[in-house]
Structure 1
């Protein structure tokens, strides 16, 4: 089952990565964004899977609101929409 989720607070995208992979005769490309979020004294840095379209439009060191599908069975979240947070400029 997949659930569509959206972030309530914006996160800073530190950088993004693109990596080719091959496993059991299958090939593909994995796109990821390294995100930073600070809430009070708590800081977290996480890698998030993103789509190729989001990869092309995303700029490092920019704040975004993220939205995408959470695959409940596999525990994976893939961002298919990133909206720049204009209020922090």
Structure 2
């Protein structure tokens, strides 16, 4: 089951990491984000698509859109909109 998610966040940085696991390989794209969670500031690494990864700039506020996959308990961001 997939649930849509929208995060208002500031992107602090981004990480790109090549991996090889059980005969499969690829590249993992993540954004390091600062999110306000009920008055608490939380920093977390969030998976993003390659297209979103290349469009993000450090230290800028974004509206991130994607989904949570309940099977893997992971968030994947598919679209980013720069907030003004």
What TM-score do you get using the length of structure 1 for normalisation?
0.87
* Partner Cα separation in structure 2 for residue 2 and residue 22 of structure 1: 26
User: What TM-score do you get using the length of structure 2 for normalisation?
Assistant: 0.91
Structure 2's unaligned 5+ residue stretches are: none
2:44 corresponding residue in structure 1 = 46
1:28 lines up with 2:26 in the alignment: yes
Instruction: Name segments (4+ residues, structure 1) moved above 6 Å.
Output: none
Cα deviations by residue, 1:4-50 (Å, 9 ceiling, x for unpaired) = 2223xx21100001000001110010000000124675211000000
**RMSD in angstroms over aligned alpha carbons?**
1.4
Whose Rg is larger? Answer: 1
Identify unmatched segments of 5+ residues in structure 1.
Answer: none
Greater strand content: 2
CA distance in 2, matches of 1:47, 1:25: 25
